[in-house]
Chains A and B, each alone.
Chain A
């Protein structure tokens, strides 16, 4: 860990200005990931702009959209009546992650930017990590890759996005509102995250001087939803595979519409529109869910230690859709 400067502005414009003013600056939210990475020597910012005093802590409904301030804490969002009433899958996903202590600190915006848990990214003694040092190689492809991606990876990087909340937000079709020196813009969450390709160090669409100010979640028209997390330990463990599923059933139990996203298997929340389309106007049966699951993991490329994820992901999709349907 190295010395760093620190400032704590009160408004969004000043925060963005400070980020631009101080060289090698980073925004600091709850610090549950960035501080960890600083201790490990993965991140070495020269200055931290602490944004936790910015007025971005509202959770409110505007029309059919729930707007969640970027600095709301994970625990607040999970317990918020609007969230519980309108999109309980988001609460389920948040509560499946980390520990109460970490959720009390972690912010919504920061959680979206959580870095991968790839062992080789986390340990700078490995010279090879294209995410840490572009062009240096990937130690995971030939290394211990049990936790790594089976979908969306490249020859340059097979790290997964490790979080839970964003998987639910992806299935919910959420958007991210960001503010920068060029003003405000809104990006759909599915477009926000990028696949690694040849540039795994670029993980998302956010520019260094842009700040996430809120998340917009359209309130879904569904009869049931579920966040399923499969993990080695029953609490405080990252997902081997997770699935956020939303199902809208007609009274005759046919599926009007269904959406699902996978976690733990890809560099970003993994959503496959064709798999969702395959469910429309079909009966809510295990066979139909299995068809969608097969489509969802099409093109999977397992590595030496993570081959089990392909079958596990399919079973998790079936289970999550089944549970969501039964809740309907």
Chain B
């Protein structure tokens, strides 16, 4: 039996997706369904002075208009979060008249038709007592949090002595790098359908990247046991982290369904995606670096400032790459946050590493130019042979090979070092490179495998398909472990009735759920092998289940994926317009499970790198602290016209320290380093060092 893992198999769900038959959350056809439309706050701070619903209630077909005046009791305070669940966010569920940010849910209109619900929502009249909101990053009351990010890393790190390292350096510099607010902007808006099957039993169709966390949070707020809540999420139309936590609208939908005693559908409108469902915070990173004449780093420091909300704490861990990417005897990082009047920032496309590698890898480029050393040479000179931050060996690290192959494919050796050295007519051409890095995580997961008497196989695990190809790779893993053709295996996911699995975030689905699927399939194979010949004897199927535990090897090894990215940009010398004409990415990310979906994943990440470098910017009105570009026409994500030729490949690895299937996870590494490679190429093209993303034409003219 030829192995299918690693082969460029077409997605098993490709046909139903391209023919419109894949059932996304808002597509679920539920008998008796009614519609809900949210009313969200138009101020960023203050209280609701009055909220008038009589005109809304008079709209024909309206069933209810719910707000803080409606007495909707909850089992616990939704503004309090469980510190042991880092994905839990403080929720605004109509419990009082306070407004903490723009677009906070303050009421919901429920009606027989979507049109009536729209109109009723529009006819809710709200008056506010507004206070002056703040979004200033430089504030005296910035504080150092206890921990940060999903992994709970400390907010400070120190080894050696940075001031000594800087003092002894032949060359030193300090610069400030900034990245703006980002909004996830998946194509599919957040949507929820709540169906109360019994007075204390709820089915929630939810656009969720983490159905088990969603179940727990919703159940605890509604005061029912988690097993009484079934969360279903068969396909997610992009999440990028925004669909990891449970947000207010999901619970509001269930509260509304309970009140009107009908199944209720609530879909966020595009402008409502800007505020109540998370964002990436702006970061301001002050990097100090010192080096000897030959480029050896003597000191490296990154002090990071970012926002959280006034009601909750989320810290974008942008300092993490500075801690471990290069060998430095003297290294220090510190993260501080300010409380601003915004919806709580949250996990967004490589939280920490995306803005963190932008700053660090542009700084490394600056250092290379100032020392007169090739940027790639400088990185090799300071190659970290072990994780100096955790003081552990790497579980695997093929970064040197990524650099070598990437440079060769891109043609890096033909680079003319001087900035502004290549001009074709009005176009300045530049090359840049940067390093990619993202943690390889694995969480406990479980799966069930079943073989029917006709030889067909059904495998089930909770997990979620957020577009990366989960249905496909799980099918391949199970088929190989059982030694059967892929066509005989059906994989089901996205239902809390299936064995529990972690959130599809942190690039951990392949390693986590993939390992559980592998173990379950292996257990089934062993069971079948041990069965006596007449063992089937009328049984319709044989089944096995397996669960994986925490990865004990995390204590012995530091686990990361790495990569090298090279970018070519073409910049209009007079008009400042930029085109990323080609990019080369070579990654080392454990065993690659499907060459086709993996390539798409890497490209997807790199395209988001173009977004970070050149386009994305959630802009707040400076006085009202309300997002002004709250739509996809003016919140710019990359289009096909922004993407040139991509050359993507990988180094074969098989990292059994990370997972029994050798996989590390590839969802997020593509964005890391990509933006820096582009920014560095822009410097090479134009001689202009822009340290503030996004790099738009006005910054270059």
Contacts and interface: CB of A to CB of B under 8 A. Distances in A.
Interface of A: 1-3, 39-41, 117, 119-120, 123, 125-126, 139, 142-144, 146, 230-238, 240, 308, 311-312, 315-316, 318-319
A139 B118 CA distance: 26
Contact of A143 (B269, B615, B623, B634): B623
Contact of A234 (B119, B621, B623, B642): B642
Given A119-B629, A144-B622, A3 B615 contact: no
Nearest to A309: B698
B622 A230 contact: no
Which 8 A-B pairs give the minimum distances between C-beta atoms? A125-B42, A235-B641, A119-B628, A308-B698, A234-B641, A235-B639, A233-B636, A1-B118
B119 A1 contact: yes
Contacts of A230: 575-577, 697
B537 interface: no
Contacts of A39: 269
6 contacts: A1-B115, A231-B577, A235-B639, A236-B633, A315-B575, A319-B575
Nearest to B580: A234
B701 interface: yes
B640 interface: yes
B701 A315 contact: yes
A312 to B, nearest CB: 6
Interface string B634-657: 101011111000000000000000
Contact of B615 (A41, A232, A315, A316): A232
A40 B634 CA distance: 15
What is the interface of chain B mostly: helix, strand, loop, or mixed?
loop
A95 to B, nearest CB: 12
A78 to B, nearest CB: 16
A312 B698 contact: yes
B314 interface: no
Contacts of A233: 615, 636, 638-639, 641-642
A119 B271 CA distance: 12
A238 B631 CA distance: 13
B624 interface: yes
Interface in B604-621: 614-615, 619-621
A234 B639 contact: yes
B626 interface: yes
A315 B696 contact: no
B426 interface: yes
Given A144-B622, A235-B642, A316 B575 contact: yes
**What is the predominant secondary structure among interface residues of chain A facing chain B?**
loop
B593 to A, nearest CB: 33
Given A123-B626, A240-B698, A143 B621 contact: yes
Interface string B243-278: 000000000000000000000000001010000000
Contact of A308 (B115, B269, B701): B701
Interface in B297-321: none
A238 B269 CA distance: 22
A126 B626 CA distance: 10
A125 to B, nearest CB: 3
B403 interface: no
Contacts of B24: none
Contacts of A234: 577, 579, 639, 641-642
A1 B123 CA distance: 9
A232 B636 contact: yes
A240 B576 CA distance: 12
Given A123-B630, A234-B577, 10 more contacts: A1-B115, A119-B628, A120-B628, A126-B624, A144-B619, A144-B622, A231-B577, A232-B696, A312-B575, A318-B574
Nearest to A99: B639
A276 to B, nearest CB: 21
Contacts, number: 89
B630 to A, nearest CB: 8
Contacts of A308: 698, 701
B227 interface: no
Interface string B680-701: 0000000000000010111001
B104 to A, nearest CB: 13
B122 interface: yes
A231 B640 CA distance: 15
A37 B92 CA distance: 28
A240 B642 contact: no
A112 B131 CA distance: 41
A136 to B, nearest CB: 15
Given A117-B634, A234-B641, A237-B636, A2 B42 contact: no
A235 B610 CA distance: 14
B122 A41 contact: yes
B629 A3 contact: no
A142 B575 CA distance: 27
A119 B641 CA distance: 25
Contacts of B42: 125
Contact of A311 (B577, B622, B701): B701
Nearest to A229: B577
Contacts of A40: 271
A123 B43 CA distance: 12
Contacts of A1: 115, 118-119, 122
B574 A315 contact: yes
Nearest to A124: B42
B697 A2 contact: no
Interface in B76-126: 115, 118-119, 122
Nearest to B119: A2
Contacts of A144: 619-622, 628
B116 to A, nearest CB: 8
A92 B269 CA distance: 33
A34 to B, nearest CB: 15
Contacts of A231: 577, 697
A120 B614 CA distance: 25
Residue from the set A230, A231, A316 with the largest chain B CB neighbour count within 10 Å: A230
A245 to B, nearest CB: 14
Contacts of A232: 614-615, 636, 694, 696-697
With a 10 A CB-CB cut-off, give which of B42, B119, B579, B698 has the most chain A CB atoms.
Answer: B698
A230 B629 CA distance: 19
A74 to B, nearest CB: 16
Contacts of B122: 1-2, 41
Interface in B556-605: 574-577, 579
**Which of B577, B579, B638 lies at the interface centre, i.e. has the most chain A CB atoms within 10 A of its CB?**
B577
A235 B640 contact: yes
Nearest to A147: B634
Contacts of A312: 575-576, 697-698, 701
B639 A119 contact: no
Nearest to B617: A232
B341 to A, nearest CB: 15
B621 A319 contact: no
A319 B701 contact: no
B575 A119 contact: no
A3 B111 CA distance: 14
Interface string B14-48: 00000000000000000000000000001000000
Contact of A238 (B633, B638, B698): B633
Interface string B392-421: 000000000000000000000000000000
B115 A3 contact: yes
Nearest to B611: A233
A236 to B, nearest CB: 6
